[in-house]
């Protein structure tokens, strides 16, 4: 895939984000998680990671219901192994986990950051509630 095509694909994926991705992004963007910057739909190898922190080499993947089937789970496992082979750590959550228990998801991400030695417990910021608008359904061009 050419660099221009990768950029266009990443932009398209960002435009078509799920509600769970939009919700989590509000807590990850602009260094809001302990000062670490995350990117959305960041290309790694032949894949696009939902969220990636370059300085921590941490990938966060959100899985919708389509990922529940055995063939999709096998493909996800192979994808994760390939991303990890590039030296990245991958955390996976379901969309339902993000929408129903966001504080637990953020706590798991903070714990991974702490385990990486990048965040001391005293530096953790308390969870702040934010008003997140609902994601609009994508507009399809015929």
> Which residues face 61 on adjacent strands?
92
- Report the helix count and the strand count for the chain, using DSSP H and E: 5, 4
pLDDT per residue of the chain (142 residues) written in tens, 0 to 9: 787 776 776 666 667 788 899 999 999 998 888 889 999 989 998 889 999 999 999 999 998 866 455 666 788 888 899 999 999 999 999 999 999 999 999 999 999 988 876 544 444 445 555 555 566 665 656 5
Output the pLDDT for position 75: 82
> Which residues face 52 on adjacent strands?
39, 59
Output the pLDDT for position 116: 75
Report d(CA 99, CA 117) in Å as an integer.
Answer: 28
CB distance 84 to 90 below 8 Å: yes
In sequence order, what DSSP letters do the residues of 123-135 get, joined into one string?
Answer: GPPPP-----PPP
Q: Residue 105, Cβ neighbours under 10 Å: how many?
A: 22
């Amino acid at each position: 895939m050419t660099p221009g095509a990768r950029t266009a694909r990443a932009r398209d994926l960002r435009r078509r984000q799920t509600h769970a991705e939009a919700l989590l992004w509000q807590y990850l963007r602009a260094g809001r998680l302990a000062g670490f910057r995350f990117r959305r739909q960041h290309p790694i190898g032949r894949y696009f990671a939902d969220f990636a922190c370059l300085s921590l080499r941490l990938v966060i993947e959100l899985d919708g219901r389509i990922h529940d089937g055995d063939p999709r789970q096998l493909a996800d496992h192979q994808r994760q192994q390939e991303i990890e082979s590039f030296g990245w750590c991958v955390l996976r959550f379901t969309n339902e986990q993000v929408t129903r228990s966001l504080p637990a998801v953020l706590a798991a991400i903070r714990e991974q950051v702490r385990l990486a030695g990048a965040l001391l417990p005293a530096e953790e910021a308390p969870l702040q509630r934010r008003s997140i608008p609902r994601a609009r359904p994508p507009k399809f061009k015929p």
